[in-house]
Structure 1
């Protein structure tokens, strides 16, 4: 009977110890483990700080690009339609000059208009001999479209990099936590839950943090790439119409516009 009572008490104590050990798998214990061990401090804090920087940068570029793409998409049709519906070319150009500095369609139109005016002012010069009006305008349009496309891609490299590397940065913390658990087992000679709960909890937290940083970055990157692809198509359409207008005096399929 006494042995049965001692066995039951031992089992109860072991269950209580395991329950207590499981409480050491939280984020507060992670901070304690990182502060207590100097090597742990350097490696784990380096991983944690890197993940925080990645996350902050990703959310910054996500918010900035979301606002930028929303504004561009909302104003694109209005800007383009107003340009073509304005009877006088000078008034249309003046309208484009009044657009915000971050409005891409107006900047493409202005570069095209400036190229056409520059070529016209230098008729009879070597410039005109080297490049005809159509070629000169086409070159200006290509440069403008490339420049505005690059501006839309600002931050996408960061998002792609974070999405690809953040899981592995978290995995580094995971590997280090498992390594710490094995070291503790070797030092104590015990493989009980209370011996490995802390390092294993740290490993799981680092894995979760890596995924938490990477998944929003990947989703944002894919969303912006798709949105930019639609904007690039509008750039090309608008650029072709501008080329026809400033090179021939009218868009394809339309009566020559008043200039």
Structure 2
């Protein structure tokens, strides 16, 4: 009998629900707007991270196959072995185009500067494409905590208003707005941390790719200026090592 009365009393008592969606409903348009903005930032950050990671991996994988390019008889034959849309093919094509145009230079030093500048410009365009989207990651990492903080401030303000209207700081008046404020803070940090990590990770890989591009550009410039006599040491050393390998000794006659 006692348990039945307690159960009926519990059913008759007002049920206060506290959760994520309930906090958003209490926050209204401001809470929903803050969550939507943070959601867009988070989606954009992961989209940039995945697409840039794929682009970087493609360039690094193509770099592993440059040995066949350097073993070709000429730059044009080597370029035909590279992917048409690869960064390495772009540098070679730009170098060949600059070589065709440098014959118009009357000064040898001026021709060298023209080739060097053309390859440097090609490098810069590739690095700029790889860096596209990284400013968005930096912006998200820097601003999303403040967007979450805005929702936090609004939630705390609503909690103070509820306390002032009720005249007492009862838990049912404070829990909703304070919970909303804490959720906004957590969401802001949840969006900011991956964006910062993704930015630093992609930036480090871009620097490595920039180093490889610079070295490759220098090798192409040396190849053009020397008419194919100067090639990377790692490639040129393979045929030499094969030629220097001693022939097997003939069996001794009895």
TM-score with structure 1 setting the length = 0.79
**Pairwise mapping of residues 173-188 of structure 1 onto structure 2 (< 5 A)?**
173-188=151-166
Aligned to 2:251: none
Aligned to 2:230: 251
The reply on whether 1:90 has 2:76 as its aligned counterpart is yes
The reply on whether 1:107 has 2:90 as its aligned counterpart is yes
Residues paired across the two proteins, number: 224
CA shift, 1:83, in A, is 1.7
CA shift, 1:154, in A, is 1.3
**Pairwise mapping of residues 49-128 of structure 1 onto structure 2 (< 5 A)?**
49-78=36-65, 80-96=66-82, 99-101=83-85, 103-120=86-103, 122=104, 127-128=105-106
Contact 2:72 2:78 in 1 (8 A): yes
CA distance, structure 1, for counterparts of residue 127 and residue 68 of structure 2 = 22
1:79-112 C-alpha deviation (Å, 9 max, x unpaired): x22221112333113224xx142x2111111101
Contact 1:242 1:251 in 2 (8 A): no
Q: Name the SS for the 1:87 alignment partner.
A: coil
Match of 2:142 among 164, 184, 190: 164
CA shift, 1:129, in A, is 4.6
CA shift, 1:74, in A, is 1.2
1:6-61 C-alpha deviation (Å, 9 max, x unpaired): xxx9xxx9xx98xx65x42x1121232134xxxxx2x3233222111111111110
CA shift, 1:253, in A, is 7.7
CA distance, structure 1, for counterparts of residue 194 and residue 40 of structure 2 = 14
Match of 1:196 among 169, 174, 181: 174
C-alpha root-mean-square deviation of aligned residues, in Å?
2.3
1:123-172 C-alpha deviation (Å, 9 max, x unpaired): xxxx4359632111001011000000011111111111101111111011
CA shift, 1:252, in A, is 6.4
Tell me which moved more, 245-254 or 48-57.
245-254
CA distance, structure 2, for counterparts of residue 183 and residue 225 of structure 1 = 46
CA distance, structure 1, for counterparts of residue 122 and residue 179 of structure 2 = 53
Q: Name the SS for the 2:223 alignment partner.
A: helix
Contact 1:119 1:133 in 2 (8 A): yes
Report runs of 4+ in structure 1 exceeding 4 Å deviation: 252-255
Q: Unmatched 5+ residue regions in structure 2?
A: 1-5, 237-254
TM-score with structure 2 setting the length = 0.81
CA shift, 1:193, in A, is 1.1
The answer to which structure has the higher helix fraction is 1
CA shift, 1:182, in A, is 0.7
Contact 1:115 1:136 in 2 (8 A): yes
Aligned to 1:31: 24
